[in-house]
Amino acid sequence: MFCGSSTVRQFQRDFPGRFSYNVFSGASIKGLPRLGSTVGHGEVIRHLARAPQRKKLFLMLGNADTDFGYYHGLAGGGTDDAAAFAAERVGIYGQFLTALLEEDDGAGLIETIGVLGLQPSPLLDAHFIDVVVGHTRACRDSLRAAGDRVDLGHAARIARVVDFNDRLAAGLPRHPKLRFFRIDHAMLDDAGSLIGRFFPSHPHEHHAVKNETFREWRQVLAPEIACYRKR
């Protein structure tokens, strides 16, 4: 069972009857504990986790926070401290995962929970502000002004995603059913730049090329998902 923001769509492949795909466009880590939220993804994921079938649950959240939420906050006078922003989100994620595991205690419906790390955005500097404003309605002038305080360049944005994944790896609850997986390092060259095959043809697309990212995820998740293994 895959649940998360729009990045989950890359897993929607032809494996009939084996997977459940649950996509919540724009869903953030911040919104997980909000009861009655507009997206409602936290409530739905908890409901799905209680479905009476044994399952492996894979959660993919965080890109809405790092690609849009942090920069929307910058434009609105929020924190400039990306490390504090990441620490807060990791804490929220950890509390949510702990609740899922506690609710499953005794029932044993969850075999494992796989937390899938964030993917670096392919958005180049020339299009970054336009896309953020389009998705979040942030004030364009305020976001541009924030660039005087915080580096908004592609390399800096990628580095924040890698740091966020590092914090996830270190800060998530320790539990025998909980796993963390990531592909961000496989998407970057030795200089920390996004490898060319991950750039989409449309310059305003904020997702990396899905076939290419799925190829990486398939390798990483093969020990957990039998049909991802080479035959």
Give the domain range for residue 143. Answer: 2-228
- What total number of domains does the chain contain? 1
Per residue of the chain (231 residues), what is the pLDDT tens digit?
A: 999 999 999 999 888 778 999 999 999 999 999 776 678 899 999 999 999 999 999 999 999 999 999 999 999 998 999 999 999 999 999 999 999 999 999 899 999 999 999 999 999 999 999 999 999 999 999 999 999 999 999 999 999 999 999 999 999 999 999 999 999 999 999 999 999 999 999 999 999 999 999 999 999 999 999 999 987
Residue 83: which CATH number?
Answer: 3.40.50.1110
Q: Cβ of 74: how many Cβ atoms within 10 Å?
A: 23
C-alpha closest to that of 181 among 151, 208, 220: 220
Two structure tokens written together for 140: 């364009």
| Full-model pTM | 0.95
d(CA 71, CA 23): 23
